[in-house]
A and B are shown apart, each in its own frame.
Chain A
Amino acid sequence: DQQVKQNSPSLSVQEGRISILNCDYTNSMFDYFLWYKKYPAEGPTFLISISSIKDKNEDGRFTVFLNKSAKHLSLHIVPSQPGDSAVYFCAASAGNYGQNFVFGPGTRLSVLP
Chain B
Amino acid sequence: DGGITQSPKYLFRKEGQNVTLSCEQNLNHDAMYWYRQDPGQGLRLIYYSQIVNDFQKGDIAEGYSVSREKKESFPLTVTSAQKNPTAFYLCASRDQGYGNTIYFGEGSWLTVV
Question: Are the chains A and B members of one assembly?
Answer: yes
Which positions in A face B, CB cutoff 8 Å? 6, 9, 32, 34, 36, 41-46, 49, 51, 89, 91, 95-98, 100-106
- Contact, CB under 8 Å: A103 / B58: no
Shortest beta-carbon distance from B42 to chain A in Å: 4
Q: A32-B99, A43-B106 are in contact. List 6 more A-B contacts (CB 8 A).
A: A42-B107, A95-B98, A98-B31, A100-B48, A101-B102, A106-B42
How many Å lie between the Cα of A49 and that of B43 in the bound state?
A: 18
* B-side contacts of A44, CB under 8 Å: 43, 90, 104
Count: A-B pairs, CB below 8 Å: 62
B residues whose Cβ falls under 8 Å from a Cβ of A: 4, 6, 30-31, 33, 35, 40-45, 48, 50-51, 58, 88, 90, 92, 96-99, 101-107, 109
Establish whether residues B101 and A97, one from each chain, have CB atoms under 8 Å apart when the complex forms: no
A34 surroundings in chain B (CB, below 8 A) = 101-102
Q: A89-B42, A105-B42, A106-B42 in contact; A43/B96 too (CB < 8 A)? A: no
Contact status B99-A41, CB under 8 Å: no
Which residues on the A side are within 8 Å of B106 (C-beta)?
A: 42-43
Binding site of A, secondary structure by majority: helix, strand, loop or mixed?
A: loop
B105 and A49 contacting across the interface, CB-CB below 8 Å: no
How many angstroms between the C-alpha atoms of A106 and B109 in the bound complex? Answer: 19
Known pairs A42-B107, A43-B90, A104-B42; A98 contacts B102 (CB<8 A): no
Chain B: which residue is nearest A34 at the CB level? B101
* Contact assessment for A49 and B99 in the assembled complex, using a CB-CB cutoff below 8 Å: yes
Complex CA gap A36/B106 in Å reads 14
| Bound CA–CA A24/B62 (angstroms) | 28
| Chain B residues closer than 8 Å to A106, beta-carbon distance | 41-42
